Amino acid sequence: MISPRIKPSAFFPEEAPDDLFLVRQRKAKLEGYVQSLAAMDELIDFGAMAAAVDRACPRPDRSKGGRPPYATEVLVRMVFLQGLYNLSDEQCEHQVLDRLSFQRFCRLDGALHIPDARTLWSFRQRLAHGGLGAQAIFETLSQQLQRHGYIPRGGQIVDASIVQAPITQATTQERKTLNKGEDPAGWSKKRLAHTDQDARWTQKHGKSYYGYKLHGNVDARYKLIRRIAITAANADDGHQLPKVLQTANTRGRLWADRAYDSEANRQALRQHGLCDGIARRARPGQTAKVRLKQRNKTISRTRARVEHVFAALHQQGGKCVRAMSLARNALSITLACVAYNARRLAWLVKSGSPPARAV
């Protein structure tokens, strides 16, 4: 790797001021701001994540030689920061260069070279291939949550949230062609490469949104994300319920809103031995709705806890994606969920929330 030509800068002096008291004071103050990041670094075994990634999607063949690659754990830590703060590859490279806490978290303090944006892009491409890398990271963290004693408890809550994507400028006919998986007439390869052909339009409360949907299963006790599925935004919520069901929860009850009200979903709950906590829609022509409203209100008291999870994901940098395919955007959404679970674990441990058992 050839180091870039560095020009002298008036902004950064050649030598930092040799004031040990100043350095110590700044480090002591910095520790107060990075307590959450330090807690995640202590609680989570990123080495196990890296090993799971290497098993799920091995490194490319290096029989022809070349520069030694960066350690997988370093790259996993960097993409974890991307999920935690919704950073692009270029922003992540800049932040790791600029922030001492990020360098220490990624085990790059004192390193001569750090992974650049292109290296991060290639690693994310490797993770996105077949969805194996993202699944390996998510499942490894889920296993670590259980080893800390935070097993799924209190029942499960299922819901979906829209994740917006950059809007593709296309006419109605071009949109129909793209939705069929075909290339519109007259479009260049460059325009196609900058067009997300997997995202779709949907409506919610009278407003239109373009992008994807995160379908999640959250346990009611700890509000940790246990199962996820990512689809285009126009996918029906109710049809995704079997993909996110979990049978390992200590309480056999599931809560969901009216979008999941169907006989097929109630049959799926019976097959898994789960109690029905799905809110009901009013039947056509139904006038007596007192009991229906009371039932739905009772369900909403518990079901609303899943909204706290989606709000926390929004606070991590906004529920939005920037890539141009379902595979890469699914990776970004999964990493955001992994980062949320890590933050939640650090908070649960700090707050003294007792785990179910020591594993």
Segment 148-161 mean pLDDT: 94
Q: Is 287 helix (H, G, I), strand (E, B) or coil?
A: coil
Segment 4-15 mean pLDDT: 58
The Cα–Cα gap between 134 and 129 comes to: 9
| Integer CA distances (angstroms), 102 to 22, 264, 318, 333, 343, in order | 20, 48, 21, 21, 16
CB 252 within 8 A of CB 274: yes
Q: Output the pLDDT for position 358.
A: 46
Q: Output the pLDDT for position 179.
A: 84
Beta bridge partners of 213: 162, 231
Most confident of the ranges 153-162, 179-188, 277-286, 350-359: 153-162
The Cα–Cα gap between 175 and 310 comes to: 29
For the chain, the structural domain boundaries read: 20-59+69-135, 153-331
pTM: 0.89
Give the pairing of strands 275-278 and 253-256: parallel
CB 216 within 8 A of CB 158: yes
Residue 9 confidence (pLDDT) above 70: no
